[in-house]
Amino acid sequence: MSATLPERRSNLAARAVDSPAFTTVVVATIAVNAVVLGLQTYDGIVDRWGDLLDLVNALCLGIFVVELAIRVASYWPRPWRFFLSGWNVFDFVVIGAAFVPGIRQNSTLLRLVRLLRVVRIVRVLPDLRVLLLGVWRSVLPLASIAAVTAMLLFVYGMVGWIWFGDELPAEWGNIGRAMLTLFVMLTLENFPAYMDAAMDVEPWAWLYFVSFILIAAFIVLNVLIGIVLNSMEEAREFERRRALREQHGAAGPSPIDPEAHAHVAERIAILRRALEDLELQLALGSRAPDGRKPR
């Protein structure tokens, strides 16, 4: 069983980790580390301020080490529970990799490790975690939308090749060029130019372009946005439930989790609507064809 909230609150390190000041310091250090990494890409700045930049980077690493030690101590007297979280393991590996001899002698690997420290801002900011989780949860539904979009591009690409392939080979000369042109048109980029050039070849080409924009650009993209927004909402609920489980030390849904009660209320509402529909169907079915109740 994971540590409950009272167990962790009794720990001074846990209170420090949960404080806004601790989060502010960590975020500021990550931002400074990112600025240093960016400045080190300029040769002139490195030649003049290279030693200072290395010193600031070393100070950032020292702050990260202290931060990691405090967060591990916040799980006392069960510090091993720190490694039960994937994000905690990620932080430990990224910070500890800077002390591995093989990496410290390799400038490329060392820069990659320093770059991964910037990615740690996802660990610190919950909203950013929700955003990435929402994107990840939308990958599977987006695969279906991608298949539908590819089918539309192929069908419209074949029609475009038949109509405009001979006169406009640069855009419609083969199925590959035609699908690429249509893919660019999904963003409405150069849409009027493509349509005007096609209408010089076929006056009724506007029907082709308008129907494609209505079906592909508007409907498909709006469905795509809807899927992402729905996944974001699911990710936000998932993150909130995870926080509640950690707070109350429960492996399953918390007994005071309002979301659990909300699901029960939702099921009751669905059952109530189903009973009302059944009553209506029985009432209508009990009437004679002429509208009178059977004797």
Q: 243: Cβ–Cβ under 8 A, 6 or more apart, which residues?
A: none
Tokens of 109: 């690997």
Fold classification of 139-236 is Helix Hairpins (1.10.287)
The pTM (predicted TM-score) of the whole model is 0.52
> Between 95 and 125, where is the model more confident?
95
Say if residue 287's pLDDT is above 70: no
The model's confidence at residue 239, banded by pLDDT at 50, 70 and 90, is: low
- The least confident of 50-54, 213-217, 255-259, 285-289 is 255-259
Listing DSSP states for the chain in one string gives -PPPHHHHHTSHHHHHHHSHHHHHHHHHHHHHHHHHHHHTT-HHHHHHHHHHHHHHHHHHHHHHHHHHHHHHHTTTT-GGGGGGSHHHHHHHHHHHGGG-HHHHT-HHHHHHHHHHHHHTHHHH-HHHHHHHHHHHHTHHHHHHHHHHHHHHHHHHHHHHHHHHTTT-HHHHSSHHHHHHHHHHHTTTTTHHHHHHHHHHH-TTHHHHHHHHIIIIIIIIHHHHHHHHHHHHHHHHHHHHHHHHHHHHT-SS--TT-HHHHHHHHHHHHHHHHHHHHHHHHHHHHTS-TTSSPP-
Average pLDDT score over the chain = 77
pLDDT tens for residues 172-188? Answer: 989 999 999 998 888 77
- The least confident of 74-78, 211-215, 234-238 is 234-238
pLDDT tens for residues 53-75? Answer: 889 988 988 998 998 898 888 88
CATH class of the region 5-124: mainly alpha
What is the C-alpha separation between 153 and 189, in angstroms, rounded? 16
Say if residue 96's pLDDT is above 60: yes
Say if residue 104's pLDDT is above 70: no
Residue with tokens 């080190």: 40
Specify the pLDDT at position 257: 47
> Between 239 and 16, where is the model more confident?
16
Domain boundaries, the chain: 5-124, 139-236
Same fold, 5-124 and 139-236: no
